[in-house]
Amino acid sequence: METTLEQQEVLSMPRIGDKAPSFTAVTTQGEINFPEDYTGEWSILFSHPADFTPVCTSEFMTFAHLEEKFEKANCKLIGLSIDGLYSHIAWLRTIKDKIEFNGMKNIEVKFPLIEDITMNVAKKYGMIQPGESKTQAVRAVFFIDPKSIVRAIIYYPLSLGRNFDEIYRALIAMQTSDAFNVATPADWNPGDDVIISPAGSCGVAEERMTNTDDLECEDWFFCTKKLDKQTVLDTIIKK
């Protein structure tokens, strides 16, 4: 079965390591030029299926509640759906005035919510997945670094609300990798041991296995070291 040009456009998406596709968009906070307006800081661009839907409402309330926490980690939030600007405004006003969820109420969404009626941005970022819906964006999350490079991508189906602890953990882990030239193991959180890159030569491998000063090596390719939680937070989190 041949893939049509329209299907190729819908399914195209940037890959990890690519420059984030540029666009200009109208939002609930005015016009933005992405990613140019966010150069020098991290950003999370995320899509949701539609305004006035319950799962999306729970997510926007949670993101808004955590916005200051992300700001302190030098990260801006930008939301998107294919609804229009006036629908966005009405929905966000309803959230603030009427909705209570998980102990949160009177939540004001201050980060930009992109109007994307033409689906121009959603198509550029592969947010429309025809297997899920041809008219709604799935729950995509793009992590963009200060150099406008896509660093991580997470996709969720329409029915599944996102885990915001994991989104924040992934952000801090990537910033830690950049700052300390390390990798982070499964389930890593600040204060846990970090992984150093595998040895590139036999000599380095032998040295690592015999040097017990600051490394803990299970084998030549699997070495960890301590990285103090406060050191990580002092480096990454704004005061």
Detail the residues annotated as belonging to a binding site for substrate.
139
Catalytic member of 56, 75, 217, 223: 56
Residue 173 located in a structural domain: no
If asked whether residues 69 and 149 sit together in one domain, one would say yes
pLDDT at 239 over 90: no
| Domain annotation covers residue 230 | yes
Residue 48 covered by a domain: yes
- Confidence bin at 238 (pLDDT 50/70/90): confident
Examine residue 232 and state whether it is found in any structural domain, yes or no: yes
Distance CA 88, CA 92 (A): 6
129 lies in some domain: yes
Please give the DSSP secondary-structure letter assigned to residue 238: -
In this predicted structure, the answer to whether residue 44 has a pLDDT above a threshold of 70 is: yes
Same domain, 36 and 81: yes
* Segment holding 25, helix H or strand E: strand 23-25
When mean pLDDT is compared across 2-11, 46-55, 162-171, the lowest value belongs to 2-11
pLDDT in tens, 198-217: 654 454 555 655 665 678 88
Residue 118 belongs to some domain of the structure: yes
Q: Nearest CA to 137 among 110, 119, 163, 113? A: 119
Total domains present in the chain: 2
Whether 202 sits among the annotated catalytic residues: the reply is: no
CATH number at 196 reads: 3.30.1020.10
pLDDT surpasses 80 at 7: no
Q: Where are the beta strands (DSSP E) in 26-168?
A: 32-34, 42-47, 75-81, 100-101, 104-105, 113-115, 139-144, 150-156
Whether residues 111 and 221 share a domain: the answer is: no
| Domain shared by 230 and 201, yes or no | yes
* Annotated binding-site members: 139
Instruction: Tell me the average pLDDT across 177-194.
Output: 96
Q: Which domain holds residue 201?
A: 181-236
CATH number of the domain residue 59 falls in? 3.40.30.10
